[in-house]
């Protein structure tokens, strides 16, 4: 059984937890250690809960004649550099984890004791790697961008077989950038209905942040957004990323949306409870009424009152209709139970 809520480092992820925000540094650091440290710090200052890298050895993942090999070769941090970044993030107090692309890298990266792992949609069919990630007994966030629903079901069953109960699914559109037409955010609601025990999130690759706000309204509890120091830079994922000020503003918007959305159950606030007594209607005499008169609908009105002690609420109309009055009542006088006989005439 998958858990609805679970710890992820120093935060909680889940259906009943606050939005968990991941600043996706990825390879936007371009292999520059100082740049990456600054990005980690800026993400923390902006309010992100975690930063995520892509720790992928190009020699283990890409043929040398591909553009991906050249990009990742330029942006790869070795073991020693990654350890420095991990310690830096830990000292700041922000969660640091990664999409690890191969078992060789996983073996040394896991020794850093990260809070969890991310499986990208490009690694969705890499069951050998997923099996080895499962052996680390950490939470696993799974991006579903390139997967069919059958593949999603298969991976979840695979995680169950490997005794993983801390996982979350992230909806995304794996286009860079992702046009609005293909975002299909309603899939978030579909996942929530289909997998009620699994936290659902959204990984955004669009050129703006409105889709992030929409995803939260649909029920996403995890947000992943690419992050950069300069989105005007070419190549890598800079174009689809937030700069520090944008990231801070986005997280502030998310916090406000969470307040606006409130809780799932129908609850009245303390102020609403006070307003309830002021704004509800009560039963009053529509005209002067005589003792022993049978109360009919035309004899009463429903009004707000200043003084309503013992006044009968409009919802209790059936409890007085057809009963006789014990006393005379003047027009506008609230009717109370002691004014009427117990039995109908």
pLDDT at position 231 is 82
Pairing state between β 200-204 and 167-171: parallel
pLDDT in tens, 257-268: 998 888 778 888
Whether the pLDDT of residue 208 is over 90: the answer is no
User: CA 98 to CA 140: how far, in whole Å?
Assistant: 11
Chain CA centroid to CA 192, Å: 11
For residues 340-344, give the mean pLDDT: 87
List domains and CATH numbers for the chain: 8-261 (3.20.20.70), 270-344 (3.90.1210.10)
- Give the single-character DSSP code of 343: E
Torsion of CA 108, 29, 85, 44, to 10 degrees: -130
Confidence (pLDDT) at 177: 87
Categorise residue 17: left if φ over 0, alpha if ψ from -120 to 50, beta otherwise: beta
* CB-based contact 131:159 (threshold 8 Å): no
Residue-level pLDDT at 331? 95
Q: Phi and psi at residue 19, in whole multiples of 5°?
A: -55, 130
Q: List, in sequence order, every residue forming a beta bridge with 20; answer none if it has no partner.
A: 222
Which pLDDT score is estimated for 159? 96
Mean pLDDT to the nearest integer, 244-249: 92
Closest by CA position to 300, among listed 278, 325, 279: 325
Residue 267 has a CB neighbour count (10 Å cut-off) of 8
Residues in the chain: 345
- Helix, coil or strand: residue 308: coil
* Residue 276: per-residue pLDDT: 84
- Count of CB atoms situated within 10 Å of the CB of 296: 11
Confidence class for position 220, pLDDT limits 50, 70, 90: very high
The 10s digit of each residue's pLDDT in 17-56 is: 999 999 999 888 988 999 999 999 999 999 999 999 999 8
Give the integer Cα–Cα distance in Å for 139 and 117.
6
pLDDT at 68 over 90: no
Which residue, among 58, 67, 135, has the nearest Cα to 102 in the 3D structure? Answer: 58
Mean pLDDT of 292-317: 92
Opening angle at CA 29, ends 23 and 33, nearest 5: 115
Q: Quote the percentage of the chain above a pLDDT of 90.
A: 72
Tokens 């809070």, residue located: 115
The answer to whether 75 and 101 have CB atoms below 8 angstroms apart is: no
C-alpha pair distances (Å), 63 with each of 56, 67, 70, 336: 13, 9, 10, 86
pLDDT above 90: residue 141? yes
Looking at residue 299, its pLDDT comes to 94
Q: What is the pLDDT of residue 284?
A: 95
Contacts of 273 (CB under 8 A, 6+ apart): none
Q: What's residue 72's pLDDT? A: 87
pLDDT digits over 74-130, tens only?
Answer: 888 999 999 999 999 999 999 999 999 999 999 999 999 999 999 998 898 999 999
The CA distance from 37 to 42, in Å, is: 9
What is the share, in percent, of the chain residues with pLDDT greater than 70? 100
Cα–Cα nearest to 78, from 43, 36, 116, 44: 36
Average pLDDT, rounded, for the chain: 92
What's the CA gap between 169 and 15, in Å, rounded? 12
DSSP 8-class letter at 204: E
Report which DSSP code applies to 334.
Answer: B
Rg from Cα positions in the chain? 30
pTM listed for this prediction:
0.85
Instruction: Give CA separation, 194 vs 129, 153, 164, 169, 187, in Å.
Output: 26, 10, 19, 11, 10
Checking if the pLDDT of 9 tops 90, the result is yes
Q: Torsions phi, psi of 265, nearest 5?
A: -75, 160
């Amino acid at each position: 059984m998958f858990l609805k809520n679970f710890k992820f480092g120093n935060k909680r992820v889940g259906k009943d937890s606050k939005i968990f925000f991941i600043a996706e540094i990825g390879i936007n650091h371009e292999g520059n250690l100082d740049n990456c440290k600054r990005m980690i710090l800026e993400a923390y200052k902006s309010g992100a809960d975690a930063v995520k890298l892509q720790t992928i050895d190009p020699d283990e993942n890409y043929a040398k004649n591909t553009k991906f090999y050249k990009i990742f070769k330029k942006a790869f941090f070795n073991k020693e550099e990654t350890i420095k970044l991990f310690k830096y993030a830990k000292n700041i107090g922000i969660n640091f984890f990664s999409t690890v692309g191969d078992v060789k890298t996983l073996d040394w990266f896991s020794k850093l004791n990260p809070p969890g792992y991310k499986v990208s949609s490009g690694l969705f069919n890499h069951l050998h790697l997923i099996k080895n990630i499962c052996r680390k007994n950490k939470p696993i966030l799974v991006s579903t961008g390139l997967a069919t629903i059958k593949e999603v079901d298969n991976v979840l069953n695979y995680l169950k077989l490997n005794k993983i109960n801390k996982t979350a699914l992230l909806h995304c559109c794996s286009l860079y950038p992702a046009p609005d037409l293909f975002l299909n955010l309603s899939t978030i609601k579909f996942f929530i209905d289909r997998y009620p025990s699994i936290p659902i999130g959204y990984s955004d690759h669009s050129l703006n942040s409105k889709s992030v706000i929409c995803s939260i309204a649909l029920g996403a509890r995890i947000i992943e957004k690419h992050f950069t120091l300069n989105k005007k830079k070419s190549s890598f994922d800079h174009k689809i990323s937030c700069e520090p000020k944008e990231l801070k503003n986005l997280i502030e918007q998310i916090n406000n949306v969470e307040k606006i959305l409130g809780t799932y159950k129908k609850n009245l606030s303390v102020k609403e409870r006070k307003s309830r007594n002021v704004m509800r209607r009560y039963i009053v005499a529509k005209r002067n009424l005589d003792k022993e008169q049978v109360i009919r609908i035309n004899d009463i009105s429903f009004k707000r009152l200043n003084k309503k002690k013992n006044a009968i609420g409009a919802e209790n109309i059936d409890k007085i209709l057809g009963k006789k009055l014990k006393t005379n009542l003047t027009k506008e006088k609230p009717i109370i139970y002691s004014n009427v006989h117990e039995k109908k005439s």
